[in-house]
Amino acid sequence: GAVVSQHPSWVICKSGTSVKIECRSLDFQATTMFWYRQFPKQSLMLMATSNEGSKATYEQGVEKDKFLINHASLTLSTLTVTSAHPEDSSFYICSAETGLPISYEQYFGPGTRLTVT
């Protein structure tokens, strides 16, 4: 149980274009989903917290107009990187919180490696 998928697993795009990443909880309904970014040899940095049907809460320093998050249902959240630039190249990982049996356990998707050329 507690399986989270992400699509695509990797993407290469040109500078200035937008990229959408999907995160799905496959066998549970996620009360909350989180989006992280990880640069090489660094730890995970939380970008935003997403609750179904409400606006995402962004961490300090994360541009909400650049990283658009939509949490359309209890099993799907999307992250759109708008007007991507090479410095946005990173490993983007989502996680979902099950809420059961003990709250606050987060299960991670496999990640999406974004390369902006």
One of 19, 23, 24, 32 touching other proteins (CB under 8 A): 32
- E-only strand ranges, 19-99: 19-25, 32-38, 45-51, 57-58, 67-73, 76-81, 90-97
Instruction: Name the 3-class secondary structure at 23.
Output: strand
Q: Which stretch binds other proteins (CB under 8 A): 17-25, 62-70, 74-82, 100-108?
A: 100-108
The answer to the question of residue 76 lying near other proteins (CB under 8 A) is no
Q: How far is the CB of 49 from other proteins (least distance, A)?
A: 6
One of 5, 49, 80, 82 touching other proteins (CB under 8 A): 49
Indicate left, alpha or beta for 16 from its phi (over 0: left) and psi (-120 to 50: alpha).
Answer: left
Q: Which stretch binds other proteins (CB under 8 A): 12-20, 42-50, 72-80, 82-90?
A: 42-50
φ/ψ of 89, rounded to 5, equals: -60, 125
Place of tokens 């066998």: 27
Binding site for other proteins (CB under 8 A): 32, 34, 42-44, 46, 49, 93, 97, 102-111
